[in-house]
Amino acid sequence: MARGHAERIGQVGSWYWALEGDKIFWSDQSYHILGLDRAGPPPLWTTFLQIVHPDERDAVDRWFYIAWKADEESAIECRILRADGSVRWVEGRVGPLFENGSKTAVCGTLMDVTERAR
């Protein structure tokens, strides 16, 4: 409950991608930032990429692939196109999680930075 409240106040969502089972978990605030309905199926990476502005989609996909393979924390800003037609700027951050020396997940944040980008 406290995490959800903090995410709403900070306008930052979080996500967690478990490598075993290839499942992504998105926080309520991530759904809100992306303009997605939580009642639908959980967004996959390809779902997120479809929300990214077409002019930036390839760059975001390359960024994530490099960050995934490099096992380092990284960040990027891009525009997203929400279902309601609005364009928002978001900052995505990603970092690996290790257990017993092996990468078990990738997690990150998604922050609405539209006001800062303007």
pTM for the model stands at 0.84
What is the model's pLDDT at position 54? 96
By the 8 A CB rule, do 12 and 29 touch?
A: yes
% of the chain residues with pLDDT over 90: 53
| pLDDT confidence tier of residue 118, bands split at 50, 70 and 90 | confident
What is the model's pLDDT at position 4? 60
What is the model's pLDDT at position 85? 93
What dihedral angle (degrees, nearest 10) is formed by the CA atoms of 114, 74, 108, 41? Answer: 80
What is the model's pLDDT at position 5? 57
Tally DSSP H helices, then E strands, for the chain.
5, 5
Instruction: Name the percent of the chain in helix, strand, coil, to the closest 5.
Output: 35, 35, 30
Domains of the chain: 2-117 (3.30.450.20)
By the 8 A CB rule, do 11 and 24 touch?
A: no
